[in-house]
Structure 1
């Protein structure tokens, strides 16, 4: 089975500078704009609040773009429905329908977490990539090779 392609910043495979630059440019072109990251109208009040919370928390990571609003909306709906199921289960732990809803949306939420880099492992990979990029910018040997002053 083929593994999903990773962002060039998250790859552990060594790329030449040209390969890296070409892939990075292609990713940036496909990423799109970031000016319309707002909850979709069909979301209920709680789902909109969840959407805004996640979007605010991910703003500094610079990973969201306008195309991500659909994934983020699905994530907000899943969390809202998990919360609703939890409330029903508080009243009746044997509520079979609430348990099914909870399980279904929890699985969906975990899949969406991978898409949005919400898991601790994903955040760690992003942080590591950012740290390595910062180290490369400050590396005197690389600066000398690039001819930076």
Structure 2
């Protein structure tokens, strides 16, 4: 399976491995600009609860400043914020009830078992983590965006002398 297509700006940050000419780069930039979705309606969906809406507004503000969010990204960000809200709720319940809860089995024996919401909390954490990387919300995902990939093969004499002009 092939790699995901990347915006031209990201390709250039990573070092123009495809050896695109200036004309090809300008052509791609103009096409991407035409295809870029609007960002005039980045608002939290009505179905989010108050905690999720607050988180949506906080993250959307940061992403808008970086020009990383558009109208078509709203549902993905809302899914992250919804998972965040559920994660916070699970955490509060576990804090109130404790990590271990009493469980009575069919034989009428009472035992201490790990709180059932710990499993749900772990699932929500994984969901948040996968969505967070899509938006560059983790340090490692931002580092991947910023770090150019190094060419493994040495440059020829002509490439060293003339660079991208070839």
Q: For the superposition of Structure 1 and Structure 2, which TM-score range results when normalised by the shorter chain? A: 0.7 to 0.9
> Which protein has greater RCO, CA pairs closer than 8 Å, 6+ apart?
2
Call closer, same or farther: CA 1:100–1:28 in 2, change over 3 Å. farther
Equivalent-residue separation in structure 1 for 2:24 and 2:122 (angstroms): 42
Q: Which blocks of at least 5 consecutive residues in structure 2 are unaligned? A: 101-113, 149-164
Call closer, same or farther: CA 1:25–1:98 in 2, change over 3 Å. farther
Within a 5 Å distance, the mapping from 1:26-45 to structure 2 comes to 26-45=31-50
2:53 counterpart residue number: 48
Report the TM-score, using the length of structure 2 for normalisation: 0.69
**120-129 or 48-57, which moves further after superposition?**
120-129
Within a 5 Å distance, the mapping from 1:1-149 to structure 2 comes to 1-11=1-11, 12=14, 13=17, 14-91=19-96, 92-94=98-100, 95-127=114-146
Equivalent-residue separation in structure 2 for 1:55 and 1:46 (angstroms): 14
More helix by share: 1
Report the TM-score, using the length of structure 1 for normalisation: 0.76
More strand by share: 2
Equivalent-residue separation in structure 1 for 2:28 and 2:122 (angstroms): 38
Q: Alpha-carbon deviation of 1:3?
A: 3.0
Q: Which has the larger radius of gyration?
A: 2
Call closer, same or farther: CA 1:127–1:101 in 2, change over 3 Å. same
Root-mean-square deviation (Å): 2.1
Q: Alpha-carbon deviation of 1:125?
A: 4.6
**63-72 or 113-122, which moves further after superposition?**
113-122
Q: Which blocks of at least 5 consecutive residues in structure 1 are unaligned? A: 130-144
